[in-house]
Structure 1
Amino acid sequence: MTNYKELLQEAATLLDTFQPNEQCMETFTENASKSLEKKYDTEDKSFLLDLMSGCIEQKKVLDVVVNTFYDHHGKLVLKADHNRFSVICYIAVFLLEDIGLQRFSKIIKSQDISKMHKFLSFLFSMYNLTTWIQSEWSQIYDAAYVEQNWILPLLRWRPKVDELLDQLRRISSGSVLKKTPANHTRPKEFALTKPKPRPLPVPEPIPTQQTHQPVKPSIFKPPKEQQILEELRQKNRQKAQRVLYEANMQQFKCAKPQKSERTEKVISQIKEAQEAQLKFDAVFTSGTPATHKVNSLPIRLNTTTILREGALYNKQLEEELHRLECVVEGGSEPSGFLRWQQQMRERGEQEQLASLEQRRLQGLISHQEATLLSSAITCITCRGASSRRRRRRS
């Protein structure tokens, strides 16, 4: 039977010897575990180490209750019992749900009855739990966590703890507690049914041996698929050679691509649309010159025609002089810009068409490589299948 008085005394002694500023908790726990191996069994040692480590980890939470308890009842309790009250507070707050009220009552009754009555009355007070204890704990941990995991469970245990406090009060006053009669288990006769007699097993039919089927002669013949694959391989090889020959013959097609009719049509439409937007073309150009001049007979001009040609010549001369004056004053000649613009436009179209042709050839080459690779894989698979058939026949 577990001696809780000795266990709590040992836990309080270990807490008294622990120095948080000078000792590491893990090292102290290991040393304490080694020293407790000879005194207690595995269950008591584990319970004792859990109490010690829990009190050290939750020291701030426990000190809130114990220090305030000493402020109210410090004249009636000893300062040396501080860690003992910390252990009781830790059990009530963190372990009551796990150990149950019966074991908790044994732990409490193993200590000084009057001190435990004062401390539990202080801890499980409705006013204390819902006011300053909850407020102080909420400054250490999250308020919702404190209320959900600590305050509400303690309030649920409060009616049963009040019964325990009533027992402690009567024990301290000298009255003897009446033991409630234990409920003994009354055995009842089993309502067993009589088993039915097991029927005789049905005899299993003797299986008849199936007749042996002769081996098909087609197994020893080479498959037709192999011949079909060989023909496909030859066709693919011839096709690849033809494509390679065409690619070698047309290897300079990327450098000087031949435009299709649709491409020429699209280019002409683009040029017409761009030239329609360039309004300055109609000002400085006089149209395309005639490519073929017809030798005609000399025509005799009248006075009106001669004067008209003279006026036209003078007008053209004035326009040319005006253009030269603009150039001398710093104006730009539009004809050079138009030639450069046309050259850049043609160069961009040629580069775009060359890139399109290059992509088309790369796609064609990739398709041919994939076809050859698929044919090679199929050939290897057929060879492996035929070799397995030959080994099976042998």
Structure 2
Amino acid sequence: MAYYGKCIETVIEQLNKFQPEKDSPEQFLEATSTALQTLSPQKQAFVLELLSGCLEYRKLMAVVVDAFYVRAGWLCPRADYSLFQVICYLAMFQLQELGFQLFCDIVKAQPVDKMHKVPRSTYQPPKEQQLLEMAKRFNRWKAEELLLQANIEEMRCAVPRSQGEPPMQASKKKLQLQLMPQIMKTSKLTFYKPSEVPVKLNTAAILREGSLYQQQVEKELQRVDQLVDGAGDFSEFLEWQKKMQAKDREEELTAGECRRLLGKLSREEAILARQHVMQENKQKANQKKEETAELLQQCAERRLQEEKSMKELVEQVTEAQKNIKLVQMKLLKDRRQTVQEVMEESRELLQRSAETAKEEQKRRCELISQLRALETQPMRKGKLVDLTQIPGYGLEGEMSVVELRERLALLKESQRREEEEKRDQIIQGKRARSQELQNRLEQISLCRAAMGRSAALRWEEKKARSAAPGVSSQDERVLELQRKVEEKVAERRRKQATLKSVPVPAPRPARTKAWAHLEQQHWRDLQQSRERRLRTLQLSTSAAGHGRRQEAA
């Protein structure tokens, strides 16, 4: 399959290079044969034969592939055009020489999504099936209820009631105890079959299913004819097949038991690994606790150093904020000057815009006066047209408008008659097709009934086979896996007992007096620094508010 896939790839590559406006097929084939000297002789001959055929019948291939893209290939990319040309050429001209099996191998060598597409409705159950399931459940529930009521009515007179209970409650309690074993024993109940819901099939589905059943009937008739002619019976083969199937079922059961034991074994191994990880994590946690205690002490010392540096920074900031007021006064003066300049410029712009608006108003008044003068001028009246008069341009087949309208009416009438005739023909064809489909549906219903009976018989045989005894517990693989599982369980229990007996680690030592003193000093200094920052912020906000008031004034 890989061999044919590579050959098709080379052919597609060469077809993509071919340009019919510039290149001739003969010269292109010669150039391709020289380029393919590195390939084996068989592959080179196969590629050149395919390439020459596709070039010779490229117009025919273009018609077929274009029709495919229009009808069903609207999801396929245009880059696969040459691939579809090659497959179409093989199917139309080389299928008899290659053979169906070799053609299938070539198709299978290509990507699956480009060669095959089954619709979404194939994987969705129909609504009629859901309705049938609902009807079955309803009928089953109704039959069970009717059976229970019938048994209660039969046993009502035979059950005595207690003095303190009403008759219905006493009978229900007695019947629940007496009828439960009988109801549990009734494994086969008679149910009414639901009314058959009609399944809507389209024309393609009816024809496909009819042809399938027709092929099955023909095969069965051929088999009967062969038996009449003296062909051998398949009883020995069927008996051997049953034995092999029974052997395969036993092998499947043993394999299933092995898989179950392997899963249990892997579960025990995972539990052991988890216990090992837990033990390692406990040791790591104890180490981490000791390390964190040391790190906390180092952090306290670093905080004290940082607080000292922060005090120095705060003092520097307070000295710098004393010079802020002078800077703010300078900024206010500069802003006042800029405001005055902007106001003067805006006044000049307003004067200019007013002058331009006046000039524009004058122009509009002049244009309106000119338009009104044009409207007062008298208008010429249109010329009368005679529809029966011939224009007289000297052309062949000249006619008046009235004659043209009459001819158009006649032409529409003839077209209407032709459409009615075609409509009658289409209706007759549809009636004949619907009658043929009805006959096919009757045949399909008969075949379905026969297939349903045969499927029921096969289901009974399958149930009888499934009721056979299961796997013998003497298989060597099963015994070996059971022994391993028991060993892992014992090991897990031992490790769990050892984990429970591990002593609890000692608690972390209490803080020293020096540590407590350092912490109190740290929080005290932090509170003082916050108060200093708050004071500086209040001073800066009051100075800024004073500057804004002066600017507004």
How high is the TM-score relative to the length of structure 1? 0.29
- Structure number with bigger Rg: 1
More helix by share: 2
